[in-house]
């Protein structure tokens, strides 16, 4: 007879090759069809909630690997919490307003000027919704579980209404005010521009050096000296209010051709040449800080120009003394505000000089350069005029130069509740811990928040103006507008006249004629997403504020963590989150950022088509996500290898559970052989370790622990040893059933522990697990350790055995190298362990099976070992060829082969089994 037919070989239909790219979509379709997300909530009804509030990605473009990292990390957590007993809803969101969408439409050829604002906004909305559909499909393809049919979207009417109410609340508390701010302004398109709408091009400009006569030298400068500035925008001289110097730079009072000038000492040689000074001797030098509050005279207006200190001053060019016009430059604006200067801006929205620039009013700003320069020459302040070509910001659409211009903006006053913000930060749990420092520093140093944008695609700032220009925002108007928006969407603001947006019969003492206008600015999109705690957490019955967790990339300390905290603290006094977790960015294999030009971009959509979502997910578990995570084809390949190892281990266990019914065949732990109990103890330790890691969001620990368990503990050790019993023993033998019990429990635990990370594979394998079980592994509970008496002692004991085993393996390898044996079953080993190990080993039956050799015996302690016996770490081991013949059935080499006349090719054990069970 063919004895192979009497072996119980592994049998399973769970395929070795995963074929994830093809299989995953089907698995996902099944989840959707069977409403698995909804079921995961139903089975946790009434349990404690765990709310992970989704930070909304911007609805534009396909997802990249960073999106994948973010969403998958969230999915790990939500799936784990759900299986760990929490009611854990996940409501994904999208950020849908803002400039990039406007730009995307323009790129597609939409001409904003050919339609009404409301029409343009409608196109923006349609575009955003299309983008959501695309991204939603891509996120779902990653296996992210959540309420995809009911996401929150910032353009949603109800969301917008809640945002408007939140704004109203901040107004009510006095946190919103109007002030001037300097912004990019394009005279050619008569509009404000964002940074993204600027492109730098070369421009030819006048370059002038101007002397500002000192009026009050504060004892540092003589009254007959002058400070020299340099500028390429002479038209801003009428707006000059100050001269900035760097506090730390060295400045010099110079005698040049009979006059006294102040310039940065370092730049003097260059200036001497530039200004054609014949002589230039330094009278004295001083730090810039000494010049603070020196007063100069404006060259041609009856006005002071104050010397102030600014860190923005550089020595790259010019004189080290910077002409400062707070209405016409960003640095100028901030430093001017610091010194309480006016934000003077004598240029109108078309780019023409106003009457605030006497002598130049009515001139286009660029045409004022010449007369201003002439005027400077006339008063003797002009030291030099030439023309240079330099890089200058231009309007990306009209290609014309842009200017800085101070305009009225709405602000949220951070300083009024900064202390509350800082206190709220201390009440949040931050991971990593440095997140707290990072946000604290940011909030501490941050300026007031400019929340207005001169844009179209966004939530309107719900403010009305009376006839005399007085802004009108009251509880009544906010509530009225919010209700209109809730009903019609924020487009109503652009479709209707102010009067139609005000409550019926609204009056104001500032509008005697009953005429009102409305604000046309919209809110900064950070105000949109920063309102989600009010618009989503507070609105949905399932959710609650504060959320348990916000989890985003570390760029969001400046972004969403910040804006959410700001609006929440301003209106409720509390942070909107109990804890914040941040992840880093995805970099290439060299640790550099990904860019198309470097060609090092890993596209998750492509990876899902080649390797599968579970590989991406496993990769995310394999890196320290709190720092930047490297990814490359090589790294993904490595992860795919790990995946295969895990998958094969699962497959092997499934195969050997063929014919095993846990309800019928399970063996109680206290009835198991020691080795099996040892494995149960190790499994308990694994479960404990992994669950603790999940609780602390340390997925890398899980990855390593599970991988090591599959590789070292299972595949290379236990499963290898178990094969003999599993294959050759009779089906219902207690030893075999015990091993199967261990494998069953291990398999179930592993699959559950793996479910949050590789849900597709876990679900696929789950279908092959024998016995009664839930339809979906994700609808089960996380495994708990099953402690039993003596487990700790057992582990301690067997850890020692493992040391001896290592020695035996080394001895076998040496014998193999000497061609004494091939496979280990050809060997017989004689051991001389240390006395301590000896005592341990003598209590262990079947040492031969443990070492997978045909014979193993303890011949004495280390002291008894013959001189020629090779010594290893703890044991001397002599390896010889096993005596006897190779059993045709179990391949053990033993003298008992042939002892049964009916089965001359079998060993005694096999002959017995075959006779009894395969007759």
Residues 630-649 that bind RNA (CB under 7 A): 630, 634-635, 638, 641-642, 644-645, 648-649
Instruction: State the nearest-atom distance from the C-beta of 648 to RNA, in Å.
Output: 4
Instruction: State the nearest-atom distance from the C-beta of 446 to RNA, in Å.
Output: 8
Instruction: State the nearest-atom distance from the C-beta of 262 to RNA, in Å.
Output: 24
Longest dimension (CA), the chain: 128
Residues from 355 through 384 that contact RNA (CB under 7 A): none
Among 441, 470, 507, 610, binds RNA (CB under 7 A): 441
Of 532, 524, 555, whose CA–CA distance to 98 is shortest? 524
**Nearest 10 degrees: Cα torsion 539, 540, 542, 545:** -30
> What six digits make up the tokens of 391?
């890089």
Q: How does 49-68 read in b/e, with b if 16+ C-beta sit within 10 Å? A: bbbbbbbbbbbbeebbbbbb
Among 43, 64, 397, 723, binds RNA (CB under 7 A): 723
Indicate the residue among 82 and 244 with the shorter CB distance to RNA.
Answer: 244
Instruction: State the nearest-atom distance from the C-beta of 638 to RNA, in Å.
Output: 4
User: How far apart, in whole angstroms, are the C-alpha atoms of residue 533 and residue 531?
Assistant: 6
Instruction: State the nearest-atom distance from the C-beta of 566 to RNA, in Å.
Output: 14
Among 390, 593, 915, 917, binds RNA (CB under 7 A): 593
Residues from 764 through 793 that contact RNA (CB under 7 A): none
Indicate the residue among 623 and 777 with the shorter CB distance to RNA.
Answer: 623
Q: Is 442 in the site for RNA (CB under 7 A)?
A: yes
Instruction: State the nearest-atom distance from the C-beta of 196 to RNA, in Å.
Output: 12
Among 105, 245, 719, 801, binds RNA (CB under 7 A): 719
Among 55, 168, 655, 783, binds RNA (CB under 7 A): 655
Q: Which long-range contacts (CB under 8 A, 24 or more apart) does 437-445 make?
A: 438/554, 438/557, 439/557, 439/561, 439/562, 439/565, 442/557, 442/558, 442/562, 443/414, 443/418, 443/562, 443/565, 444/418
Q: Is 338 in the site for RNA (CB under 7 A)?
A: no
Instruction: State the nearest-atom distance from the C-beta of 748 to RNA, in Å.
Output: 17
User: How far apart, in whole angstroms, are the C-alpha atoms of residue 245 and residue 241?
Assistant: 14
Residues from 539 through 558 that contact RNA (CB under 7 A): 553-555, 557-558
Of 853, 795, 791, 805, whose CA–CA distance to 833 is shortest? 805
466: alpha, beta or left? (left if phi > 0; alpha if psi -120 to 50): beta
Indicate the residue among 790 and 822 with the shorter CB distance to RNA.
Answer: 822
For RNA, how many residues bind (rule: CB under 7 A)? Answer: 77
Instruction: State the nearest-atom distance from the C-beta of 760 to RNA, in Å.
Output: 19
Among 137, 716, 793, 802, binds RNA (CB under 7 A): 716
Among 247, 589, 785, 860, binds RNA (CB under 7 A): 589
Instruction: State the nearest-atom distance from the C-beta of 28 to RNA, in Å.
Output: 25
User: How far apart, in whole angstroms, are the C-alpha atoms of residue 785 and residue 687?
Assistant: 6
User: Number of C-alpha atoms within 13 angstroms, CB side, residue 279?
Assistant: 9
Instruction: State the nearest-atom distance from the C-beta of 260 to RNA, in Å.
Output: 32
Residues from 804 through 843 that contact RNA (CB under 7 A): 806, 809-810, 812-813, 816-817, 822-823
Neighbour-count burial of 908, counting CB atoms closer than 10 A to its CB (0-12 exposed, 13-18 middle, 19+ buried): middle
User: How far apart, in whole angstroms, are the C-alpha atoms of residue 413 and residue 418?
Assistant: 9
Show the site string, 676-705: x = touches RNA by CB under 7 A, - = not: ------------------------x---x-
> What six digits make up the tokens of 11?
């049998």
User: How far apart, in whole angstroms, are the C-alpha atoms of residue 521 and residue 407?
Assistant: 12
Instruction: State the nearest-atom distance from the C-beta of 727 to RNA, in Å.
Output: 5
Indicate the residue among 127 and 643 with the shorter CB distance to RNA.
Answer: 643
Residues from 4 through 43 that contact RNA (CB under 7 A): 4, 7, 9-10, 16-17
Query: Look-up: residue for tokens 């009026």?
Result: 215
Indicate the residue among 64 and 312 with the shorter CB distance to RNA.
Answer: 312
Instruction: State the nearest-atom distance from the C-beta of 795 to RNA, in Å.
Output: 18
Q: Is 130 in the site for RNA (CB under 7 A)?
A: no
Among 600, 715, 780, 896, binds RNA (CB under 7 A): 715
Instruction: Find out whether 913 and 902 touch, Cβ atoms under 8 Å.
Output: no
Q: Which residues fall within 8 angstroms of residue 708, CB to CB, at 6 or more apart?
A: none
Instruction: State the nearest-atom distance from the C-beta of 644 to RNA, in Å.
Output: 6
Indicate the residue among 310 and 489 with the shorter CB distance to RNA.
Answer: 310
Neighbours of 687 (CB within 10 A): 22
Q: Is 909 in the site for RNA (CB under 7 A)?
A: no
Q: What is the SS3 string spanning 190-255?
A: CEEECHHHEEEEEEEEEEEEEEEEEEECCCCCCCCEEEEEEECCHHHHHHCCEEEECCCCEEEEEE
Indicate the residue among 156 and 552 with the shorter CB distance to RNA.
Answer: 552
Residues β-bridged to residue 409:
179
Instruction: State the nearest-atom distance from the C-beta of 497 to RNA, in Å.
Output: 37
Indicate the residue among 466 and 907 with the shorter CB distance to RNA.
Answer: 907
Indicate the residue among 300 and 891 with the shorter CB distance to RNA.
Answer: 891
Instruction: State the nearest-atom distance from the C-beta of 308 to RNA, in Å.
Output: 15
Instruction: State the nearest-atom distance from the C-beta of 884 to RNA, in Å.
Output: 16
Indicate the residue among 17 and 113 with the shorter CB distance to RNA.
Answer: 17
User: How far apart, in whole angstroms, are the C-alpha atoms of residue 814 and residue 679?
Assistant: 29
Show the site string, 603-632: x = touches RNA by CB under 7 A, - = not: -------------------xxx--xxxx--
Residues β-bridged to residue 306:
242, 295
Show the site string, 871-900: x = touches RNA by CB under 7 A, - = not: -----------------xxxx---------
Instruction: State the nearest-atom distance from the C-beta of 635 to RNA, in Å.
Output: 5
Instruction: Find out whether 261 and 254 touch, Cβ atoms under 8 Å.
Output: yes
Across 516-657, the runs of DSSP E, i.e. the strands, are: 517-518, 522-523, 547-553, 577-583, 586-587, 629-630
Indicate the residue among 71 and 889 with the shorter CB distance to RNA.
Answer: 889
Among 587, 611, 804, 829, binds RNA (CB under 7 A): 587
Of 64, 69, 54, 58, whose CA–CA distance to 132 is shortest? 58
Among 286, 334, 411, 730, binds RNA (CB under 7 A): 334
How does DSSP classify residue 700? H
Q: Is 437 in the site for RNA (CB under 7 A)?
A: yes
What is the radius of gyration, based on Cα positions, of the chain? 39
Instruction: Find out whether 354 and 235 touch, Cβ atoms under 8 Å.
Output: no
User: How far apart, in whole angstroms, are the C-alpha atoms of residue 229 and residue 170?
Assistant: 43
Among 257, 712, 793, 835, binds RNA (CB under 7 A): 712
Piece of the chain touching RNA by CB under 7 A; list 122-130, 468-476, 584-592, 674-682: 584-592
Three-class DSSP category at 148? coil
DSSP β-ladder status, 577-583 and 429-431: parallel
């Amino acid at each position: 007879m063919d004895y192979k037919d009497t072996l119980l070989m592994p049998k399973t239909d769970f395929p070795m090759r995963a074929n994830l790219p093809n299989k995953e979509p089907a698995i996902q379709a099944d989840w959707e069809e069977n409403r698995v997300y909804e079921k995961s909530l139903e089975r946790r009804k009434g349990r404690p909630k765990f709310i992970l509030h989704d930070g909304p990605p911007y609805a534009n473009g396909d997802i990249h690997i960073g999106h994948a990292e973010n969403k998958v990390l969230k999915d790990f957590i939500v799936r784990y919490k759900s299986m760990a007993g929490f009611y854990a809803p996940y409501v994904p969101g999208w950020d849908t307003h803002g400039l990039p969408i406007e730009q995307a439409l323009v790129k597609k050829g939409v001409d904003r000027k050919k339609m009404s604002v409301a029409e343009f906004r409608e196109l923006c909305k349609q575009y955003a919704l299309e983008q959501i559909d695309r991204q939603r499909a891509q996120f779902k393809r990653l296996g992210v579980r959540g309420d995809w049919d009911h996401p929150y979207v910032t353009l949603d009417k109800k969301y917008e209404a809640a945002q408007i109410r939140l704004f109203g609340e901040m107004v009510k508390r006095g946190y919103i005010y109007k002030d001037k701010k300097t912004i990019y302004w394009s005279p050619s398109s008569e509009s404000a521009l964002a940074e993204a709408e600027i492109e730098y091009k070369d421009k030819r400009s006048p370059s002038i050096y101007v002397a500002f006569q000192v009026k009050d030298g504060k004892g540092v400068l003589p009254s007959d000296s002058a400070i020299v500035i340099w500028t390429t925008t002479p038209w801003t001289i009428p707006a000059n209010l100050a001269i900035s110097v760097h506090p730390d730079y060295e400045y010099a009072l110079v005698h040049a051709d009979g006059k006294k000038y102040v310039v940065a000492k370092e730049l003097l040689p260059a200036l001497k040449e530039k200004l054609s000074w014949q002589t230039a001797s330094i009278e004295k030098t001083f730090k810039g800080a000494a010049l603070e509050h020196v007063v100069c005279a404006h060259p041609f207006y009856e006005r002071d120009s104050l010397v102030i200190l600014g860190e923005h001053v550089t020595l790259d060019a010019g004189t080290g003394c910077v002409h400062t016009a707070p209405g016409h430059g960003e640095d100028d604006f901030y430093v001017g505000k610091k010194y309480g200067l006016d934000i003077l801006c004598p240029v109108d929205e078309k780019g023409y000089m106003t009457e605030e620039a006497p002598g130049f009013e009515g001139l286009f700003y660029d045409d004022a350069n010449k007369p201003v320069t002439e005027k400077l020459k006339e008063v003797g302040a002009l030291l030099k005029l030439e023309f240079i070509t330099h890089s200058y910001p231009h309007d990306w659409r009209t290609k014309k130069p842009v200017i800085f211009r101070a305009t009225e903006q709405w602000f949220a006053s951070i300083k009024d509740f900064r202390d509350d913000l800082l206190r709220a930060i201390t009440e949040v749990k931050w991971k990593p811990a440095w997140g707290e420092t990072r946000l604290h520093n940011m909030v501490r140093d941050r300026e007031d928040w400019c929340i207005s944008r001169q844009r179209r695609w966004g939530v309107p700032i719900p403010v009305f103006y009376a006839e005399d220009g007085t802004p009108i925002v009251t509880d009544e108007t906010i509530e009225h507008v919010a209700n209109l928006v809730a009903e019609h969407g924020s487009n109503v603001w652009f479709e209707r006249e102010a009067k139609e947006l005000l409550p019926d019969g609204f009056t104001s003492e500032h509008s005697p004629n009953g005429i009102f206008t409305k604000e046309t600015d919209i809110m900064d999109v950070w105000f949109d997403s920063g309102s989600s705690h009010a618009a989503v957490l507070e609105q949905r019955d399932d959710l609650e504020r504060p959320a348990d967790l916000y989890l985003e990339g570390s760029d969001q300390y400046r972004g969403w963590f910040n804006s959410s905290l700001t609006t929440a603290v301003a209106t409720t006094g509390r942070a909107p989150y109990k804890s914040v977790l941040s992840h880093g960015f995805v970099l290439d294999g060299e640790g550099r950022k990904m860019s198309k030009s470097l060609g090092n971009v890993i596209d998750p959509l492509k990876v899902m088509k080649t390797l599968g979502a579970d590989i991406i997910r496993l990769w995310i578990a394999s890196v320290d996500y709190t720092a930047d995570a490297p990814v490359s084809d090589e790294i993904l390949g490595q992860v795919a290898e790990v995946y295969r190892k895990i998958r094969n281990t699962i497959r092997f266990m499934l195969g050997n559970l063929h014919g095993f019914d846990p309800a019928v065949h399970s063996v109680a732990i206290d009835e198991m052989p020691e080795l099996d109990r040892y494995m149960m103890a190790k499994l308990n330790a694994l479960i404990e370790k992994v669950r603790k890691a999940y609780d602390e969001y340390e997925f890398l620990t899980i990855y390593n622990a599970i991988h090591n368990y599959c590789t070292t503990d299972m595949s290379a050790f236990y499963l290898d040893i178990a094969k003999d019993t599993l294959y050759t023993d009779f089906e219902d033998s207690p030893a075999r059933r015990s091993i199967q019990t261990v494998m069953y429990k291990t398999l179930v635990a592993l699959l559950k522990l793996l479910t949050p990370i590789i849900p597709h594979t876990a679900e696929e394998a789950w279908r092959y697990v024998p016995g009664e079980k839930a339809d979906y592994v994700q609808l089960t509970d996380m495994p708990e350790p099953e402690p039993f008496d003596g487990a700790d002692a057992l582990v301690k004991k067997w850890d020692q055995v493992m040391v001896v085993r290592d020695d035996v393996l080394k001895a076998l390898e040496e014998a193999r190298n000497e061609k004494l044996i091939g496979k280990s079953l050809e060997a017989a080993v004689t051991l001389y362990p240390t006395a301590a190990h000896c005592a341990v080993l003598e209590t262990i039956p079947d040492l031969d099976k443990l070492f997978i050799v045909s014979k193993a015996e303890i011949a004495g302690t280390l002291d008894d070992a013959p001189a020629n016996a090779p010594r290893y770490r703890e044991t001397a081991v002599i390896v010889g060829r096993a005596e006897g013949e190779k059993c045709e059935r179990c391949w053990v080499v033993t003298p008992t082969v042939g002892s049964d006349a009916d089965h001359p090719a079998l060993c005694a054990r096999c002959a017995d089994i075959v006779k009894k069970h395969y007759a």
